[in-house]
Copies of this chain bind each other. A is one copy, B any other.
Amino acid sequence: MQKITILIHCEDQKGIIASVTNYIAGIEGNIIYLDQHVDANENVFFMRLECEFSTQNWDLELIKKDFQANLADKFNMSWEIYTQEYKPRMALFISKYDHCLYDLLGRYSAGELPLEIPLIISNHEDLKGVAQRFDIPFHHVPFTKNIKEEGEKQQIALLKEYDINFIVLARYMQIITPKLIELYKNRIINIHHSFLPAFPGAKPYHSAFARGVKIIGATSHYVTEELDEGPIIEQDITRVSHSHSIEDFIVKGRDLERSVLARAVKLHAERKTMVYNNKTVIFS
């Protein structure tokens, strides 16, 4: 059995679902998962399918060509097809915080994430030892205002060298350059330690404490040029009270950051996210 995942989006039109499901049936595929969504305001159709094929005469490139010619052209579809074996290659960008790093590497080592981690980039040397523990190449790329361009150049060279598909900022404390954002559009995932759009920018736990909120949150989103304004992938919250100090907020927040980032990374790697109009469609 060969299993593939298909992602489609296009203008909403009558008969799309019938055409797609007919097409799959026509090439002897069996649909084992189908979810679709119509953005009624924008008139856009989104679909995610998982299909099984008997492996006889299986040829992915042929299927892709056929799919384009006999289905996609008709509806002017944007689409992607992935085989089950395909594991995207992820780079981790880190600074000095290690909790998200330990969490992601632990999950990765425990076999929970369908991806490869061939590269860790940090603007500090501090966490080199953690990377070594998990046998992952670690590269120190200094990055400050003055050496931005040099840093960006090194980052891009490493990403190319290691053939990286997407980037995860695991509490990386630097701004990503517009050029890198453009290169990895909708493929850079950040974790912000607040319930966005509340408390964007620096020191959100301090702001949350000052405001006296009863709930704090964390938000994982794709990085765009507007700081903390990118498409939200996942959010979660936890209760706090007057009895909690800022330090307590930070400790409780670490748990949120960990789990929200891990869920976003998994959703992305499983091809369950689609971005449109600065928002995400997250398939189940």
Contact = CB atoms under 8 A, between A and B. Distances in A.
Interface string A192-221: 000111110000000000011111010000
Interface in A208-241: 211-215, 217, 231-237, 241
Contact of A195 (B37, B215, B281): B215
Given A36-B34, A241-B282, A279-B242, A102 B107 contact: yes
B14 A34 contact: no
A152 interface: no
Given A112-B254, A242-B281, A279-B242, A214 B232 contact: yes
Interface stretch (A17-25, A61-69, A83-91): A17-25
B214 A235 contact: yes
Contacts of A74: none
A243 B24 contact: no
Q: How many monomers of this chain does the complex have? A: 4
A102 B106 contact: yes
A149 interface: no
B235 A215 contact: yes
Contacts of A37: 242-243
A180 to B, nearest CB: 23
A18 B26 CA distance: 10
Contacts of A259: 255, 259
A278 interface: yes
A30 interface: yes
A211 B235 contact: no
A107 B255 CA distance: 10
Interface string A241-284: 11101000001001100010000000000000000001111101
20 contacts: A14-B30, A18-B24, A39-B242, A40-B245, A99-B110, A99-B112, A102-B109, A105-B106, A133-B134, A195-B215, A196-B198, A196-B211, A197-B198, A197-B213, A211-B232, A211-B279, A214-B282, A242-B280, A243-B284, A255-B259
Given A15-B25, A112-B251, A242-B282, 6 more contacts: A17-B34, A99-B107, A99-B110, A102-B109, A212-B280, A214-B282
Interface of A: 14-15, 17-18, 21-22, 24-25, 30-32, 34-40, 98-99, 102-103, 105-107, 109-110, 112, 130, 133-134, 195-199, 211-215, 217, 231-237, 241-243, 245, 251, 254-255, 259, 278-282, 284
